[in-house]
A and B are shown apart, each in its own frame.
Chain A
Amino acid sequence: MISKKWLYGAGGIALVLSLSACGSDSKPATTADCPQGAITLSVLRAENNGPTDEQMATYKAANPCVSFKVDQVPFGQLASKISVLGPSANPPDVIGYDSPNTQSYASQGLLLPLDKYLPAGWKDDVAKATLDENSWDGQVYSPGEEQDALALYYNKKLTDAAGIKPPTSLDKAWTWEEAQAAFLKCQQGSGNDIKVYGLAPSRLGNGTPGASYRDLLFLRSAGDPTAPEDSTAFKTFWALSRDGKQVDGWLNTPEAVQAATFYQNMFQGPDQVTSKTGLPSALINNKACFDLEVSSNTATLKKAGVDFGVSPMPYFKTPIVHTGAVTVGVTARSKNADAAAAFVVAISTGDELGTWAEKNIRIPVLKSQADKSVILKKAPYNIAVEEIQQWGQPRPPSPQFTQYDQFVTDALRDIAYGKDPKASLDKAVSQIQPLLGQ
């Protein structure tokens, strides 16, 4: 870009002089204990997500010359904050971001490749879905910390009263048709006067339907990865060509449209089982029987004292769950790259990862650590762990994932609100396709 400095001229200087007191600039202080200078790593993260204060405290205890300055935003604001801070003169050193964005950030030069910092044998130990999602152009940009997946939680009091026994192992998982029958059976009320919903409205985002993390699964599970590569069934499963350049014919296949119609009928009509608008704490307040949730929800339910169970994610033809969670990376323009990378690698590998995962009941990305965990082998956590290992797929990786995600979410939301599924998906395709491969 052409330098814009000439535009500001005297005016800018005058203002800066009068306001220089308000600026802030920190210089590393050199002390006897830290001959290379005490380093302050600036961290940007989403609320209730990593890197956590505890991780930083543990690291600082082992590396006293490193301290942290944390900026925190609600999850919904994270992406736009990153895009505003990224090109700035002082980007954060470490960012906690949503892993599907890795390719997007990496391809635009926002993230630092971390291959040379990762310990030996890491690539074999890490879950394949994580490696796929966090790599770009042959390099790894984030080691990943945790994985999580949606599962079907249910309110035992309500399901017992309705005489429903959901499956609790992956081999007996319901199909969507079976699941819907169960939702309907458990539901109380109908039409405009539903007192207890079969399925709780999504809690993702602001409670409006469409978030691709959950709702794209409907479309993808109607596909089949074992089908011939040029078949629509194969393409439905992947929802985006493997090179990230084609979406027409991958997102709007006949199978996807059919699945989308089923999805639409869950929100209205005689088979309605869920609400188009949000309903906070539906499962806890006995206002819904089932709820698709991530495993971190377990803690919330336990705290509320709800008698709950966990069942695997339903499917149409092929079971699938989306992996991907908040992960950590180092910005390419960081001024403390080595220190930041060391921190990132430390918290996501080895026993430090295992300890953190066990304590916070998260599923670590490293198989060696997951195997060591005691708590993860027990119900209800084991369901999510097995789902990730057997059914886990990242959301379609692409440098334009953000845009893809935005338009797919919009389309799914429109479908939930009643728009024709084929028209919606075609519209999304027409919006996404021109942006791909740029």
Chain B
Amino acid sequence: MASGGTALPRKAARTRGEGVQPSSRGTGTRARRLGRSSLRHNALPALGFLTPFLLLLLVFQYVPLVVMAKNSLYSFSLFNPDAGKFVGTDNFVRVFTDATALQSMLVTLLFTIGLLILVIPLSFLLAVYLNGKLAARALIRTMIFLPVVTSAVVVATLWTFLLNQSGLINSALGVLGIAPLGFLTDRNEALPALIVMSVWQQIGLAAVLFLGGLQSIPAELQEAAYTDGAGPVSRLRYLTIPLLSRTTLFVVVIMTVFALQAFAPAYIMTGGAPDGTTNLIIFQIYRTAFYLQQPGYASAMAVIVLIFALLVSLVQMRLLRTRWNY
């Protein structure tokens, strides 16, 4: 499926998000004429193919989006939604003045940044390793991918016990003569512990993505750089890394979306404690809606999260318009 170097220059001419242009092969004048005149007539069969998808998207993504935007303007309880009252932008103002909500957003941001800082370099190095012919590559690849296919629930449950006062990690530390750490009960260690857990969970995916990017760098370029006398480090710096910029961006976006969506760690492991230092925003939204009975306020928080996520994706789309052509 990855067609390698020859396919890339052609596709580099396209920019993402603007639809698909016809491939340069097999488009004769006749076909082009046919194509243009039936552009409008094609709308109907096209819709036929697209309708199931678009319908589901409409019902399960766009409609809830609109409902949520509307809910964020009301204050109501889940028991009695009809007794809700319109409060306009009050909920939004509250989000920015409520210490808990602000802390939650900060915590999520720190979680995201921490995850990115650790995952990107580590997974890149792993990918470089996996790209070589050194021993046990397949085995390594399998092992780092295990957490990726494991559900968030199982990962969170496993790590709850790993991090327990009398858990595996503390007892391993004991072997090294280190006193047991509080991890989830210590306000300075809880969020870092969750970050490390998430790195563990996602590094396999990021490494594989980088690996795909590495393998699509044409060997000729590597050769050329080598013959030009570039050492491994400068090869890495001036050739490999710039050519991986798209993959890197993609990994960044995937990890960001994953971090913004994180729920199981807060729900299963900490409940937001200690002192709100692990109160991830999705958990805060869930808690506000269901435990604190304020779904309107929760919706306002969700709207803000969505806007932020959309901004991230827009930035990505913008950045992806720059290409490295060979």
Known: A15-B55, A79-B291. A87 touches B63 (CB 8 A): no
Q: Which one of B59, B63, B182, B292 lies within 8 Å of A402 (CB-CB)?
A: B292
Known: A1-B84, A277-B165, A419-B275. A80 touches B291 (CB 8 A): yes
Interface string of A408-438 (1 = CB under 8 A from B): 0010011001110000100000110001000
A299 to B14, CA, bound (A): 71
Find out whether the CB atom of B77 lies under 8 angstroms from the CB atom of A108: yes
From residue 147 to 203 of chain B, which have CB atoms closer than 8 A to chain A? Answer: 164-166, 179-180, 182, 184-187
| A203 on interface, CB distance cutoff 8 Å | no
Known: A410-B272, A417-B187. A87 touches B291 (CB 8 A): no
* Chain B residue with Cβ nearest A2: B70
Find out whether the CB atom of A414 lies under 8 angstroms from the CB atom of B273: yes
Find out whether the CB atom of B79 lies under 8 angstroms from the CB atom of A108: yes
Known: A105-B79, A108-B80, A410-B272. A11 touches B187 (CB 8 A): no
The number of residues on chain B lying at the interface, defined by a beta carbon within 8 Å of a beta carbon of chain A, is 40
| A208 on interface, CB distance cutoff 8 Å | yes
A51 to B81, CA, bound (A): 28
Interface string of A206-225 (1 = CB under 8 A from B): 10101000000000000000
In the complex, chain B residues whose CB is within 8 Å of the CB of A4: 67
| A192 on interface, CB distance cutoff 8 Å | yes
In the complex, chain B residues whose CB is within 8 Å of the CB of A435: 292
| A368 on interface, CB distance cutoff 8 Å | no
A80 to B292, CA, bound (A): 10
| A403 on interface, CB distance cutoff 8 Å | yes
* Chain A residue with Cβ nearest B54: A11
Find out whether the CB atom of A84 lies under 8 angstroms from the CB atom of B78: yes
Known: A87-B80, A417-B186. A208 touches B291 (CB 8 A): no
Find out whether the CB atom of B55 lies under 8 angstroms from the CB atom of A11: yes
In the complex, chain A residues whose CB is within 8 Å of the CB of B100: 431
| A406 on interface, CB distance cutoff 8 Å | yes
Name the residue in A84, A105, A417, A424 with the highest tally of chain B Cβ atoms < 10 Å from its Cβ: A417
In the complex, chain B residues whose CB is within 8 Å of the CB of A84: 78, 290
Known: A406-B291, A414-B275. A7 touches B67 (CB 8 A): yes
From residue 284 to 299 of chain B, which have CB atoms closer than 8 A to chain A? Answer: 287, 290-293
A39 to B287, CA, bound (A): 36
In the complex, chain B residues whose CB is within 8 Å of the CB of A87: 78-81
Q: How far is the CB of B164 from chain A (nearest CB, A)?
A: 5
Name the residue in B67, B78, B179, B287 with the highest tally of chain A Cβ atoms < 10 Å from its Cβ: B78
In the complex, chain A residues whose CB is within 8 Å of the CB of B70: 2
A108 to B84, CA, bound (A): 11
Interface string of A15-26 (1 = CB under 8 A from B): 100000000000
Known: A11-B59, A414-B273, A417-B187. A275 touches B165 (CB 8 A): yes
| A185 on interface, CB distance cutoff 8 Å | no
| A279 on interface, CB distance cutoff 8 Å | yes
A12 to B67, CA, bound (A): 15
| B263 on interface, CB distance cutoff 8 Å | no
A141 to B119, CA, bound (A): 54
From residue 31 to 80 of chain A, which have CB atoms closer than 8 A to chain B? Answer: 79-80
A84 to B291, CA, bound (A): 11
Interface string of B97-133 (1 = CB under 8 A from A): 0011000000000000000000000000000000000
A435 to B83, CA, bound (A): 17
A-B contact list, 24 entries, CB within 8 Å: A1-B84, A7-B63, A15-B59, A79-B290, A79-B291, A84-B78, A109-B80, A110-B79, A208-B273, A210-B273, A275-B165, A276-B165, A277-B184, A278-B164, A279-B166, A402-B291, A402-B293, A406-B291, A410-B276, A414-B275, A417-B273, A417-B274, A418-B187, A431-B100
